[in-house]
Amino acid sequence: MDNNQEKSIGVLIVKLIFLGIAVLGAVLLLMGVILGWFKREAEIKKPALSQTSLQIQEGEKYTLEITNYHDLGEPPFRWAIEDREVASVRDNKDGTAEIVAKAPGTATVSIKAENCEELQCSIVVTKAPIASIAGSAWETEDGDYFFLEDGSYYYFVSPRTENYIKGTIQIKEMTGDEMLATEAAMLVNSVERAAYFKVDTVADLEIYYGSRRRGSRYTIYVAANEEEAAIYDSGWSEAMPAKKIDLQTSAALDGKFPGGADIPVDIVSDTPGTVAATYSADDPFTVPGADFTNDGTWKESVNAIQIGNELIFKRGDKEHNALYRMPLDGSGAQPELVYEPADGRIVTIIGTDGQKLLFGEGDAANGSYGTDALYRMDVDGYGLMLLVEDAVADFCVYNNYVFYTDYSRLVKLSMTGKTEVLWDYGVYCYEITADDLIFLFDGDVWELLDTWSGEDFGYLCESCNQSYECDIAEQVGDYLYYLAYDYDTETVSLRALDIQNGAENLLSPSYTGTKHDTYCVLFSGKYAYFTTEDGESLVRFDVTSGAQKQIYFDDLGYWYANEIIEVDGQPLLYLYDEDGNGWYVSVDESMNLNVVTTAF
């Protein structure tokens, strides 16, 4: 080997040594970086928060705390909140922050610091309980309570009873423990976030089942927040859930309060009657010469009517039906389709103004089957016109106006669609007379109204409540006739109210009824026809002599009836047979049944 070769090998060895040193340095450097990264990762700290979720009421404050703030070395934390309208956050610079609830809603607080994990706290802000119930109004199942800021108090009961109170109140806020010591202890914890109140009342005027009195005192206990309440009324001795309703002015409430105007002396005597009903099945009260005539008004929801020489009727079930017509000449012609609702809609009630057909329509899809629109059209199905979009349970036509009710008010409707509320309380039944008067039963007493202005002439009788209800009334001469269902005895009976002195008289014996409102009545000539036994029998009562005749449908191959109207001067029943088929069947003078339509 010569010298040149030895030098080349030496140079190569040196290069290899330097390359190895470089590679080793790079490896050591990389290891240092990696170890440093792991070291820094190990130094990221984990702070702990006193609450990770918080629910506070509007207006309240709460302090959030980093519980290991000192152990972390007291780093500067940054507190932030996403929705400043719901809540605000203020850093106290000591590992704590003050949360202030501003409005109902949700928000999230974020907490950050260098070399620390980020923290979050979810905030839910709820409404605070009301400071006072003065200036609020509440609706319960039994009525509406108005607590005015001026110390006035109004109570309007539901259509179920006749009880109105106007008076003064004193309101005292109570603690939950104080409420537990009262007769209304069940109100505690009945409402979330509730404030508790005791309300002492004095009645300036109380109308109770038609009678009037003053000075009655009641204690009302209330548990309430901004939207809901529970009310214990010592007058009812029960607790009732309540929802907040719009507060009205004293003037508006005074307008609603039935102070009871005097009944015109040319209509009835100037002293309302207080004579109790006469209950004597052995010697019923009769009215010689009484005669029920068709006055052109329709007084109930019906499924069939007569217009001219045709029967207009509803055919189908509560899921889908249509209107049909057929002649009443005995020709046996098949029913002809008049009107078919759109899918999901049904015809609910039918009536007439003497020339055109009026009918209600409702939504079957939601399962309520109630009327939400009233239409008018020609009998042949042409000229359809919407009269009103409203809840209509019953209606009648008088002097080219439609009078309808949803059982909580009576509304007058023009044929152009203009409405006017005549009565804003319970409506069980009403009769409009040729004297432009309305006899209205509100659930407990008979009221007399002016047909056009709605003026309240007062009560026909102040002490005639017998815990009954009725659906149809007919006025002839000095008497108002109706069929009453008595809740206490579970019976139905025919009655006559003397509109001159307010005395209620029993016409017929009492017949077995049920709690279900399935009876129906027709006044025709000298007879009142009505169903009993849960619709399984028919009674014909002669109001002039007291003679009566009763037939049972199962003796004649039928099950029960759910409607009775007058067609061609004869009663027409809608009967079901035992197979569930429906029939329109007329009733002759001898109480024989004659089929008018085929089964459907």
Round to whole Å and give the CA distance between 98 and 105. 18
For residue 1, the one-letter residue type is: M
- 120 contacts 109 by C-beta, under 8 angstroms: yes
At residue 591, the pLDDT reads 93
CB contact at 8 A, 32 and 102: no
> Quick one: fold of 53-126?
Immunoglobulin-like (2.60.40)
Residue entry with tokens 């659930």? 443
Instruction: Look up the pTM and report it.
Output: 0.56
How far apart CA 385 and CA 402 sit, in angstroms, is 14
The length of the chain is: 600
Mean pLDDT for the chain overall: 83
The CA distance from 143 to 220, in Å, is 14
In a 13 Å sphere around the CA of 20, the CA atoms on its Cβ side amount to 6
Q: Scanning the structure block, which residue is given the tokens 């004297």?
A: 435
The closest alpha carbon to 496, from 514, 509, 508, belongs to: 508
**What is the C-alpha to C-alpha distance for residues 599 and 580, in angstroms, rounded to an integer?**
9
To the nearest 10°, the Cα dihedral for 275, 445, 165, 392? 180
Is 528 a residue whose pLDDT tops 90? yes
Give the C-alpha separation, 396 to 597, whole Å.
26
Residue type, 259: G
Helices (H) and strands (E) in the chain, counts: 3, 46
Helix (H, G, I), strand (E, B) or coil at 538: strand
Two structure tokens written together for 303: 């499924």
Q: Which pLDDT does position 457 carry in this prediction? A: 82
pLDDT (tens digit per residue) in 132-148: 899 999 999 888 999 99
Show me where the domains of the chain are located.
53-126, 136-256, 297-427
- Contact criterion met (CB below 8 Å) for 118 and 101: no
On the question of pLDDT at 199 being above 80, the answer is yes
Q: What is the mean pLDDT of residues 418-430?
A: 90
* pLDDT score for 280: 41
Percent of the chain with pLDDT over 90: 40
User: Tell me, what's the pLDDT at 295?
Assistant: 62
Taking only the tens place, the pLDDT of each residue in 563-591 is 898 888 889 998 988 888 888 899 999 99
Q: Which helix (H) or strand (E) holds 268?
A: none
| Ramachandran angles phi, psi of 114, nearest 5° | -65, 140
Question: Which of 233, 238, 210, 259 lies closest to 144 in space, CA to CA?
Answer: 233
Residue matched to tokens 């004579």 = 275
- Show Cβ contacts of residue 325 under 8 Å, excluding neighbours closer than 6 positions: 310, 311, 312, 313, 335, 336, 338, 379
CB 322 within 8 A of CB 337: yes
User: Predicted confidence band at 517 (pLDDT cuts at 50, 70, 90)?
Assistant: low
Q: Give 356: exposed, middle or buried? Use CB within 10 Å, 0-12, 13-18, 19+.
A: middle
The phi, psi pair for 250, rounded to 5°, reads -60, -40
Higher pLDDT, 554 or 463: 554
State pLDDT tens for residues 141-170: 888 999 999 999 999 886 444 578 899 999
CA distances from residue 141 to 127, 161, 238, 241, 554 in whole angstroms, order as listed:
25, 12, 12, 8, 40
What is the structure's pLDDT at 272?
Answer: 35
Which range is most confident: 21-25, 40-44, 447-451, 483-487?
447-451
Measured torsion, CA atoms of residues 535, 541, 543, 544, in degrees rounded to the nearest 10: 170
- Fold of the domain built from segment(s) 297-427: Neuraminidase (2.120.10)
> Would you state the structure tokens that stand for residue 534, as one six-digit string?
């849960």
What is the structure's pLDDT at 24?
66
Task: Report the relative pairing of strands 582-587 and 570-576 from DSSP bridges.
Answer: antiparallel
**pLDDT value at residue 444:** 74
Phi and psi for 504 in degrees, rounded to 5?
-100, 130
- CA 179/CA 184 separation, integer angstroms: 7
Nearest CA-CA partner of 524 in 584, 465, 586, 467? 586
Cα–Cα distances (Å) from 380 to 187, 272, 323, 339, 377, in that order, read 59, 49, 10, 9, 8
CA pair distance 189, 27, nearest whole angstrom: 71
Handedness of CA 276, 282, 288, 293 (dihedral sign): positive
259 pLDDT higher than 50: no
pLDDT (tens digit per residue) in 1-59:
555 555 566 656 656 666 666 666 666 666 665 555 544 545 788 999 999 999 998 88
Same fold for the domain at 53-126 and the one at 297-427?
no
Q: For 9-23, 182-196, 279-293, 374-388, which range has the lowest pLDDT when averaged over its residues?
A: 9-23
